[in-house]
Amino acid sequence: MPLILGMSVLLACQFAGELVARGLALPIPGPVVGMVILLVVLMVHGKVPTSLRLAGEGLLRYLTLLFVPAGVGVMVHFRLIGEDLWAIMLTLVGSTLVTLGVTGWVLDRLSRQHAVRTGRPGNEP
One digit per residue, the tens of pLDDT, for the chain of length 125 reads 888 999 999 999 999 999 999 999 999 999 999 999 999 999 999 899 999 999 999 889 988 888 888 888 888 988 988 999 999 999 999 999 999 999 999 999 999 998 888 887 655 55
C-alpha distances (whole Å) from 18 to each of 38, 63, 65 are: 13, 22, 24
**Measured torsion, CA atoms of residues 73, 78, 79, 83, in degrees rounded to the nearest 10:** 100
CB 111 within 8 A of CB 123: yes
- Cα angle 22, 37, 2 (rounded to 5 degrees) comes to 115
Give the number of other CB atoms < 10 A from CB of residue 39: 11
Q: Which residue, among 81, 61, 86, 62, has the nearest Cα to 71 in the 3D structure?
A: 81
Is the whole model's pTM more than 0.85, yes or no? Answer: no
d(C-alpha 34, C-alpha 69), whole Å: 23
- In the chain, the amino acid numbered 32 is V
